[in-house]
């Protein structure tokens, strides 16, 4: 397995999960559309039953004003609709329904056709308010899941650590609200609603002018709804791709990557544009949505992989022999219950630095023997000379108390995160308790140290 094959496989798995979540939610939308279509059919049936003659309704009859009894009945239905809005528990949905409620359509004098259009508009408003709520929830979940799974896959390669920020709800909201394609998701979804609303009104008016039968009118309205449903599903899949890829890019940034590689969803239906982008690398700073960063088109399922020129697959294979956390265990340990993991890690480092002068680094006699014997020569010292061992200990304590940088990460299969004290090109490694682990001459180029620095925000 090459490095790219590893990243590509992980990326495919993450994308497939996000796509599966999307399909599961869209199946729910199909049922809601069917329910809405059935409600509209009932409205049409009632309308024809009241005003048609021999199953046909002339346009002149359709645009007649409601008489007194019809108007009173219509007013009662409007009041019921307003009460229905008031009972809506979700404030965002309730606000949207009230915003879509057009009082001008419910004036004292209203034609038969206007009353029918208003009833259909109410059904569409309820449909799209509910769809908007469900899909925003889906997209938010896809962002969170995509971000954490990308972090997890990266840490599988470079070592587990809590040195990353947890998902901030404001970041998710910004991702959902960003008008990456000229308008944000909610605006685009409601644009579909208004387009469908106008199409249904046009279908009704044209049908009445032609004198269409109830069956013909119902069939044409159903066809319009089917087209709108397909458009809405395509919008959701495209938006889900955008959110998923945005979350992964944020994970790359969080882990210190500077480049990504475009990965086309290759298959028989791969478009030439996406196929031509496959394998191309770009700086994160040069990302252009829809140009070199997916999605490039509606229904696009392309994704990206993090690129690291120093990635060493052989080192990774060696580390896998020591075991790999599955995602659920990783999430439980490094994410769940933390308000902000990065703040906690930095607080731990700050407290450790504050208390360093009280007890200092802990070095056992065994370490003074074995460890010092191994590393004295790195500093040009003789391990057989007691004074030289004291000099190495002085170097260690100086690095402990006066580092240039402090990073936290995984080291050499230690069970918990370790502290890296960096001074110049050299690195002191110790446990969060202050217990000495090792000292690395020129350790700034060590793979574990590089990974810890990479996992910095």
Is 423 a residue whose pLDDT tops 90? Answer: yes
pLDDT band of residue 337 (cuts 50, 70, 90) is low
pLDDT at 54: 67
pLDDT band of residue 95 (cuts 50, 70, 90) is confident
The average pLDDT across 387-391 equals: 87
Instruction: List % helix, strand, coil for the chain (3-state, nearest 5).
Output: 65, 10, 25
Give the lowest-confidence range in 200-214, 243-257, 329-343: 329-343
Is 367 a residue whose pLDDT tops 50? Answer: yes
Q: Which residues contact 15 (CB under 8 A, 6 or more apart)?
A: 244, 265, 301, 303
pLDDT at 313: 55
- Whether residue 294 has a cis bond before it, omega within 30° of 0: no
pLDDT at 256: 84
pLDDT at 293: 96
Structure confidence by residue, pLDDT tens digits, 204-252: 999 999 888 888 998 999 999 999 989 988 999 999 999 999 999 999 9
pTM above 0.75, yes or no: no
Is 152 a residue whose pLDDT tops 60? Answer: yes
* Nearest-10 Cα torsion for 250, 251, 257, 262: -80
Percent of the chain exceeding pLDDT 90 equals: 28
pLDDT band of residue 416 (cuts 50, 70, 90) is confident
Do the Cβ atoms of 157 and 6 come closer than 8 Å?
Answer: yes
Structure confidence by residue, pLDDT tens digits, 300-312: 999 999 988 766 5
Domain ranges, ordered by start, for the chain: 3-256, 340-454
DSSP state of 364: -
Structure confidence by residue, pLDDT tens digits, 270-297: 788 898 999 999 999 999 999 999 999 9
pLDDT at 351: 55
pLDDT at 347: 56
pLDDT at 29: 83
Report the CATH fold assignment for 340-454: Nuclear Transport Factor 2; Chain: A, (3.10.450)
Task: Give the span between the Cα atoms of 184 and 191, in whole angstroms.
Answer: 11
pLDDT band of residue 355 (cuts 50, 70, 90) is very low
Is 81 a residue whose pLDDT tops 60? Answer: yes
pLDDT at 421: 93
pLDDT at 223: 92
pLDDT at 143: 95
Between 77 and 14, the more confident residue is: 14
Helix/strand/coil (H, E, C) string of 19-77? Answer: HHHHHHHHHHHHHHHHHHHHHHHHHHHHHHHHHCECCECCHHHHCCECCHHHHHHHHHH
Return mean pLDDT, the chain. 83
Q: Both tokens of residue 274?
A: 């996406």
DSSP state of 428: E
Q: Which stretch, 87-101, 146-160, 405-419, has highest mean pLDDT? A: 146-160
pLDDT at 287: 94
Structure confidence by residue, pLDDT tens digits, 14-61: 999 999 989 888 888 888 889 999 999 999 999 988 888 766 778 888
Say whether 237 sits in a helix, a strand or coil.
Answer: helix
Is 426 a residue whose pLDDT tops 90? Answer: yes
pLDDT band of residue 356 (cuts 50, 70, 90) is very low
Q: Count H helices, E strands: the chain?
A: 16, 7
pLDDT band of residue 343 (cuts 50, 70, 90) is low
């Amino acid at each position: 397995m090459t490095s790219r094959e590893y990243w590509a496989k992980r990326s495919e798995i993450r994308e497939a999960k996000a796509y599966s979540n999307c399909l599961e939610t869209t199946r729910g939308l199909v049922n809601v559309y069917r329910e809405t279509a059935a409600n509209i059919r009932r409205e049409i049936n009632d309308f024809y039953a009241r005003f048609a003659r021999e199953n046909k309704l002339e346009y002149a009859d359709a645009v007649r004003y409601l008489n007194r009894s019809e108007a009173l009945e219509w007013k009662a239905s409007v009041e019921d609709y307003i009460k229905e809005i008031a009972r809506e528990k979700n404030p965002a949905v309730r606000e949207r329904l009230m915003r879509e409620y057009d009082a001008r359509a419910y004036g004292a004098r209203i034609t038969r056709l206007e009353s029918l259009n208003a009833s259909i508009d109410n059904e569409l408003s309820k449909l799209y308010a509910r769809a908007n709520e469900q899909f925003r929830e889906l997209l938010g979940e896809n962002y969170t899941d995509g971000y954490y799974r990308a972090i997890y896959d990266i840490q599988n390669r470079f070592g587990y650590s809590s040195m990353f920020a947890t998902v901030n709800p404001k970041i998710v909201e910004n991702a959902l609200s960003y008008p990456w394609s000229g308008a944000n998701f909610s605006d685009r979804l409601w644009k579909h609603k208004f387009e469908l609303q106008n199409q249904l009104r046009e279908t009704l008016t044209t049908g009445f002018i032609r004198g269409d039968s109830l069956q013909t009118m119902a069939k044409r309205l159903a066809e319009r709804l089917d087209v709108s449903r397909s458009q809405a599903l395509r919008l959701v899949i495209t938006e889900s791709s955008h959110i998923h890829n945005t979350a992964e890019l944020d994970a790359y940034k969080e882990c210190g990557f500077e480049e990504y590689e475009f990965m086309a969803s290759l298959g028989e239906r791969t478009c030439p544009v996406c196929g031509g982008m496959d394998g191309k690398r770009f700086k994160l700073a040069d990302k252009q949505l829809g140009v070199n960063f997916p999605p490039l088109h509606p229904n696009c399922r392309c994704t990206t992989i993090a690129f690291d020129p120093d990635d060493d697959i052989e080192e990774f294979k060696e580390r896998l022999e020591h075991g790999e956390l599955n995602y659920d265990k990783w999430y439980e340990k490094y994410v769940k219950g933390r308000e902000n993991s990065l703040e906690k890690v930095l607080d731990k480092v700050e407290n450790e630095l504050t208390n360093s002068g009280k007890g200092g680094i802990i070095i056992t006699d065994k370490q003074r023997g074995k460890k010092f014997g191994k590393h004295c020569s790195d500093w040009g010292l003789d391990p057989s000379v007691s004074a030289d061992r004291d000099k190495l200990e002085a170097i260690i304590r100086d690095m402990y108390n006066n580092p240039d940088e402090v990073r936290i990460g995984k080291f050499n299969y230690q069970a918990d995160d370790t502290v890296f004290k960096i001074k110049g090109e050299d690195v002191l490694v110790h446990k969060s308790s202050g217990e000495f682990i090792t000292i690395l001459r020129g350790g700034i180029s060590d793979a574990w140290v590089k990974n810890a620095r990479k996992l910095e925000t």
